[in-house]
Amino acid sequence: MAGEGRVGFCIDESLGRTIAPVLRQVRAPGAPDIHHVSELGLHGTTDEVLLHELGQRNFAALVTKDSRMLRAATRQAAWQGSGICLFVADGKWGNLPMFEQARQLLWWWPAMVAQAQVAPMGGAWQVTRDKGPSGLRRLLPVLDGS
């Protein structure tokens, strides 16, 4: 499982520095740790380096607004090699104010944590602003073929 033995979630710089502290304030006891990329000394690194480092540091997931994260073959290879789950906010998140981004993430957080804990390593999901059943949509199949 992706969550088994993994240390937590990383919030990408595309979502801003204020999101991680907000999520930490409401984190349930025993829930995964939440870190911002800058807290890990990875601010400004390339996507490939970020994905590799998160995998090396045993993170369960990366949450990002960067829809380009899986477009280039080199980034896909880095993501697959990392084994982390990836949650990508869709284009409707656009330039939402930071408060609204935090509110949206708070809505989806329980579902994202659940997916990271039960899914095989390396899943990718799109996080929409739609609160319906299609709001958290699988982007790519699991990497191990199951």
* Average pLDDT, consecutive stretches of 10 residues, N- to C-terminus, the chain (146 residues): 68 90 85 92 92 93 88 82 89 84 87 83 84 70 41
Determine, yes or no, domain membership for 11.
no
pLDDT score recorded for residue 67: 81
Determine, yes or no, domain membership for 18.
no
Distance (Å, whole) CA 43 – CA 27 = 23
pLDDT score recorded for residue 145: 38
Determine, yes or no, domain membership for 1.
no
Expressed as residue numbers, the domain containing 118 is: 36-140
* Domain count along the chain: 1
Helix (H) or strand (E) holding 138: strand 136-140
pLDDT score recorded for residue 146: 35
pLDDT score recorded for residue 26: 84
Determine, yes or no, domain membership for 133.
yes
Determine, yes or no, domain membership for 44.
yes
Determine, yes or no, domain membership for 77.
yes
Determine, yes or no, domain membership for 10.
no
Determine, yes or no, domain membership for 82.
yes
